Amino acid sequence: MLKNSRHSHGFTLVELLVVIAIIGVLVGLLLPAVQAAREAARRMSCGNNFKQIGLALHNYHSAYNQLPVQRGGTDGGGYLGGHYASSVIDNRLQLSFLVALTPFIEQTAIWEHISNGDPTLPVAPNFYPPMGPTPNQATFVPWVTQIPGFRCPSDPGTGLPANGRTNYAACMGDAIEKINSGAYDWNLTPPDSSRTERLRASQRGMFVPMEKTQFRDVLDGLSNTLMCGEIPTDLGDNDVRTQPHIGKKPWAAVMNNPSYCDQFRDPERPQFWDSNISSDLQNASAADRARGFQWASGFLLHTGFQAILPPNGEICVDNNQNPNSLKSVQMEALASAGSRHQGGAHVLMGDGAVKFITDSIDAGDQSAKTVRAINASPSNAGAKSPFGLWGALGTRASREVIDSDF
């Protein structure tokens, strides 16, 4: 007599739950490692972009015996309602150093469009001239073109309200005065002796606004001098690194104390501005007024930084202008390097080396008076940088010895 017997070949519910739990634990352990590997790859790609920019700068210097000008371009005398109005007759000497690098990074088509202008657009005076209009003109195609070599893969910012974004900026030294205007006034009146004296005393970086510089000017040594730095682009989230605080105090407040705007951070979320002072923040919907929103613009907010506050420090524009005025963010300002990487930002040295500078780099006395020639009570022109190793790296000819690794 045969007995019926049943043999189970499946898993019990308990066994399935155990397997699922084990898989969950393994995924939980694996995901951070995958994310870290992806960020490491993005960070390496970002460094490679910087190396290409460094090579382009050296090739440009070999070709023209100078670095590209920060705030260069054309000024045909077309004055349409003031310096702050958008111009289609010329670009008002507002172009960044990145514009001149396009043919050196395999962007010849973009360069040819810029250098030839656009004779077909129905705008006054019925065309865009060679070298284009001011960089905030979104109808000029090159200005709204995203150039991959100018973007860090770790930065998620994309699209409107920006024109073409960038994550790479020129080192403008360790001071504030004349950082945007150079030796000109705001109507582009040619330099006079007073403005020139103030420019030479304060603008001590590798790039000087509206002035040509050469490697021969770098007396501190190319390997000891910052040429460019990484910057994050704005995401519209009140980030202190990408949305400038535009105060209504006298302009000298920040020049005499670079840490002035630190008081306006949210005490519970210090990476963001306190919402109670949001009326003094820039309009994030405007392409003119947020970090890295115009790769073609030579203004500090878009393609410049100072070696004053350590990397990932806040942006501060302090003057008595209307915070919603474009004029306010074209005046003197304070902005450091920064990135979406953890703990610091890439910098490009004068010799082409790419280094990662941490937020904890020695940045000296953050409340020290910045270097100025006049109206500095008293003048401190020629002084050693008060901003430690970071400030010393930012100056090209202050004869400060760099005797430590960074």
Rounded to whole angstroms, the Cα distance separating 294 from 96 reads 9
Q: What is the DSSP letter of 67?
A: P
Rounded to whole angstroms, the Cα distance separating 332 from 319 reads 8
Tokens of 321: 């202008």
Q: Which residues lie below 8 Å from residue 282, measured CB to CB, with a gap of 6+?
A: 243, 244, 246, 289, 290, 317, 323, 324, 328, 329
pLDDT in tens, the chain (406 residues): 445 555 556 668 777 788 888 888 877 776 776 666 777 788 888 999 999 999 999 999 999 999 999 999 887 654 444 444 456 678 888 999 999 999 999 999 999 999 988 876 655 555 788 898 889 888 889 999 999 999 999 999 888 888 899 999 999 999 998 888 888 876 677 777 888 888 888 899 999 999 999 999 999 999 999 999 999 999 988 899 998 887 666 567 888 899 988 888 889 999 998 877 655 555 544 667 789 999 999 999 999 999 999 999 999 886 655 545 555 555 788 999 999 999 999 999 999 999 999 999 999 999 999 998 875 556 788 888 999 999 999 999 888 777 666 6
Instruction: Using CB atoms within 10 Å of the CB of residue 324, give its burial: 0 to 12 exposed, 13 to 18 middle, 19+ buried.
Output: middle
Contact 167, 118 (CB under 8 A): no
The radius of gyration of the chain's CA atoms, rounded to the nearest angstrom, is 25
- Where helices occur in 68-143 by DSSP H, the ranges are 97-101, 108-116
Residue in 200, 224, 213 with CA at minimum distance from that of residue 393: 224
Q: What is the DSSP letter of 53?
A: H
